[in-house]
Amino acid sequence: MAKLVVVLGDQLSPALASLQKIGPDDIILLAEVAEEASYVKHHKHKIILIFSAMRHFAATLQQQGKQVCYLEYNKSASIRSMTDAVAYALQQHCGIQEIVITQCGEYRLQQTINSWPQKFAIPVTQLDDDRFICSLAQFSHWTEGKKQLRMEYFYRDMRRHTGLLMENGQPLGGKWNYDAENRKACPSNTTPIMPLQFSCDDITDTVKRLVQQQFADHMGSVDNFSYAVTGKDARQAFLHFVAQQLPQFGDYQDAMLLDKPFLFHSICSVYLNCGLLDVRWMCNKVVAAYHNGDVPLNAAEGFIRQLIGWREYVRGLYWLLMPNYAEHNQLNAQRNLPKFYWHGKTQMRCMQQAISSTIEHAYSHHIQRLMITGNFALLAGLSVKQVTDWYLAVYADAYEWVELPNTLGMALFADGGVLASKPYAASGAYINKMSNYCKNCAYKVKQTTSDDACPLNALYWHFLHRNRESLATNPRMALTYANWQRRNDEDKAAILAKAELTLLRLEQL
């Protein structure tokens, strides 16, 4: 019985469940379609990465003797969606009696796939995506009976489940979490170790020309694209990280330095999230480096926590809570996204640095996303929908299953505490502690109400004041609100007035 095996652009893995039993008559479909490329204005680098990686993956499958139906992007063609692509493949290849696909990573597309049995009148088999360590059924079982779904406890269960960095049922070193050792500020004279970069081959050059022609108004430039687009190169990039960057990653994973966007970060989420890397292989390489004495425990544990803790946790939450999760707006944030989120032209050095890195590389690291662009959005009350769409569009590693919980829940606290136990709100003092941005900024980080005061300072207190009914009862916010209450009425009025003026002038910051 011939099958049509549909492979999506973030499923470019030979270990994909739907590719494990391919018969000689089966057809593998990969399609570059306008609907997936344009439903948000994806960064040029993200589109280049996915289209080029898809073409390389298809070529490998063909070299292995498999039948591949590959549809290249054509804006004017009638094939604009994955449903159109499936219909075309079924028309071109007679005798297909079943569609097979691995569950996708986005609720919107999953609902489309769910409609295929009725639309095409043939069976559609949807397989679990076992590239993840925790199945959705396992995650759902883990949530049963819990009043709060905290990542730390999920992470500990994942450590027990995988045995990673465990010995005799206990965590190596006696602690589950070395996060307290991973928050060091980086000396200004630190020399970062760059992620491995790759030159473009003919396939990628062709895709770059396509993207420049068809997506010219999207963020970024095609000229400086340097990501890996094959599994082989992605693995090489990760091994470079483990050998060269990981030893210092632990200490400085939260640090930021002017004009040094990477420091010791791997950027390998870009490869992992589209299927070019395997999470189990990555974890094993990190653990081996620790046991070989090549990296300290805090670095190994910190990276493992990101892979089997946060990544698996947010995926589980996404599928558990969608579609209603996307509509949460607990703090009623409605203000329009300032235009500088798209062009990076602002006098706020921290925002300029995070956004410029995003524009140039389709990348900024997790603290820049959470505590700079995310924190500003939280404090200013920016529209949850506009902010989450921006994050989904501009980062090369962003797919809705991972982007939405991290942005809506962790950065914006729009879910009211489902993901995070308190808002990740901070004044300029945090950024001054973790970076050298403030020393190079037009605004004064230790001022709150002066004309040249850091905008984050007044906005921080304004955020707390306007959301006091929602947040003041949170036990983790008690000290912060006590500090606010101790201020005299004149100080409070001046701070709130400064914040209101700042909000009126967001576009001029």
Q: What is the pLDDT of residues 118-130, one digit of tens each?
A: 999 999 999 999 9
| String of DSSP letters for 409-459 | IIIT-TTSSSS-SS-----HHHHHHHBSSGGG-SSBTT-SSSTTB-HHHHH
The secondary structure element, H or E, covering residue 70 is: strand 67-71
- Percent of all residues in the chain with a pLDDT value above 90, rounded to a whole number: 83
In the numeric block, which tokens belong to residue 423? Answer: 């808002």
Cβ–Cβ < 8 Å for 350, 367: no
pLDDT in tens, 211-225: 999 999 999 999 999
Confidence of residue 1 (pLDDT cuts 50, 70, 90): confident
Peptide bond into 323 cis (omega under 30): yes
Indicate whether 241 pLDDT > 90: yes
**pLDDT score, position 382:** 98
**pLDDT score, position 177:** 87
pLDDT in tens, 261-279: 888 888 999 999 999 999 9
pLDDT in tens, 472-484: 889 999 999 999 9
Indicate whether 462 pLDDT > 90: yes
Q: Give, in order, the Cα–Cα distances in Å from 69 to each of 4, 116, 122.
A: 9, 18, 19
Q: Using CA atoms, how far apart are residues 450 and 418, in angstroms rounded to an integer?
A: 37
- Listed as own residue / partner, the contacts of 117-123 with beta carbons closer than 8 Å and 24 or more positions apart are 119/83, 120/86, 120/87, 120/90, 122/90, 122/96, 122/97, 122/98, 123/97, 123/98, 123/99
Cβ–Cβ < 8 Å for 136, 316: yes
Q: Using CA atoms, how far apart are residues 263 and 246, in angstroms rounded to an integer?
A: 11
Q: For all residues of the chain together, what is the average pLDDT?
A: 94
Q: Model pTM?
A: 0.94
CA 254 to the chain's CA centroid: 16
Q: Using CA atoms, how far apart are residues 7 and 62, in angstroms rounded to an integer?
A: 14
Q: Using CA atoms, how far apart are residues 140 and 146, in angstroms rounded to an integer?
A: 11
Indicate whether 332 pLDDT > 90: yes
Average pLDDT of the segment spanning 381-388: 97
**pLDDT score, position 13:** 96
What phi and psi, each to the nearest 5 degrees, are found at residue 268?
-75, -5
**pLDDT score, position 113:** 96
pLDDT in tens, 275-316: 999 999 999 999 999 999 999 999 999 999 999 999 999 999
Q: What is the CA radius of gyration of the chain?
A: 24
**pLDDT score, position 264:** 81
pLDDT in tens, 67-95: 999 999 987 678 999 999 999 999 999 88
pLDDT in tens, 53-68: 999 999 999 999 999 9
**pLDDT score, position 75:** 74
